[in-house]
């Protein structure tokens, strides 16, 4: 199945130790339907508003490590709180969401649920949260340390120039160099050039496949 609703007591298998009791309070109070999905390349999590007669619905990618799962869940709870307080006609990651997310994140940071390196990065995000944790390169680097090992998978910034790599959608690229804060790469099937975040996870291809 692509997704499954998660009984609250099963959340312990996805969350850092000690986090369940705090998460459960939000999910129960606001009657949130939480589902765990397969990996999605475009999003880590998603929120759908609880319109009249409907519960709030949140989905989180099930392949995330425990800390990334919790951070993504807090991000989506921020959307829920903004929806609940201000209604649906607000920017997705505008001032209202940032305000609610910062409140929730601040509360969880007082509970000592994160390793120090992750906590330090999250404290920095409180100043101006990004629309996605993927957009915060320092946080991505730190969170990746807690992922299960994946053979031949690297952050794009870790590969030398002229390396060949595949993205999650299977396209083959050649790393060409750096442009400001982005990395330039060439699509080997179309010879078009694209800019990537340096912390994009890719699979190293040891030699070009013709």
- Consecutive 10-residue runs of the chain (210 residues): their mean pLDDT? 58 92 92 90 87 84 95 96 91 92 95 95 86 74 92 93 94 94 95 95 80
What is the C-alpha to C-alpha distance for residues 199 and 80, in angstroms, rounded to an integer? Answer: 28
Task: Sketch the domain layout of the chain as residue ranges.
Answer: 3-144, 153-205
What is the C-alpha to C-alpha distance for residues 9 and 196, in angstroms, rounded to an integer? Answer: 39
How far from 128 is each of 99, 102, 125, 131, 135, CA to CA, in Å? 10, 9, 6, 10, 12
The tokens of 168 are what? Answer: 């999650």
Q: At what angle do helices 20-29 and 66-86 cross, to 10 degrees?
A: 30
For residues 118 and 143, the answer to whether their CB atoms sit within 8 Å is: yes
Give me the DSSP letters along 61-86.
ETTS-HHHHHHHHHHHHHHHHHHHHH
For residues 28 and 41, the answer to whether their CB atoms sit within 8 Å is: no
For residues 44 and 27, the answer to whether their CB atoms sit within 8 Å is: no
For residues 119 and 140, the answer to whether their CB atoms sit within 8 Å is: no
What is the C-alpha to C-alpha distance for residues 32 and 26, in angstroms, rounded to an integer? Answer: 8
**Lookup result for tokens 């609610």:** 100
For residues 139 and 68, the answer to whether their CB atoms sit within 8 Å is: no
Residue 18: count of CB within 10 angstroms of its CB: 11
Domain 153-205: give its CATH code.
2.30.30
The pLDDT of residue 1 is: 38
The pLDDT of residue 2 is: 47
């Amino acid at each position: 199945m692509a997704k499954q609703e998660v009984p609250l007591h099963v959340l312990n298998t996805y969350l850092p130790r000690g986090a369940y009791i705090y998460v459960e309070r939000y999910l129960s109070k606001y009657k949130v339907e939480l589902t765990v999905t397969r990996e999605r390349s475009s999003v880590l999590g998603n929120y759908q508003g609880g319109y009249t007669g409907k519960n709030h619905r949140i989905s989180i990618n099930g392949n995330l490590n425990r800390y990334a799962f919790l951070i993504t869940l807090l991000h989506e709870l921020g959307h829920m709180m903004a929806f609940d307080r201000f209604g649906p006609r607000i920017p997705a990651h505008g001032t209202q969401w940032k305000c609610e997310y910062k409140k929730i994140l601040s509360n969880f940071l007082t509970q000592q649920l994160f390793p120090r390196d992750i906590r330090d990065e999250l404290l920095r995000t409180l100043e101006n949260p990004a629309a996605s944790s993927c957009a915060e390169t320092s946080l991505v680097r730190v969170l990746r340390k807690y992922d299960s090992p994946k053979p031949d998978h690297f952050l794009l910034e870790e590969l030398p120039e002229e390396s060949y790599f595949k993205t999650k959608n299977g396209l083959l690229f050649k790393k060409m160099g750096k442009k400001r804060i982005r990395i330039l790469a060439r699509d080997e099937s179309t010879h078009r050039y694209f800019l990537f975040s340096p912390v994009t996870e890719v699979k190293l291809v040891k030699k070009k496949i013709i």
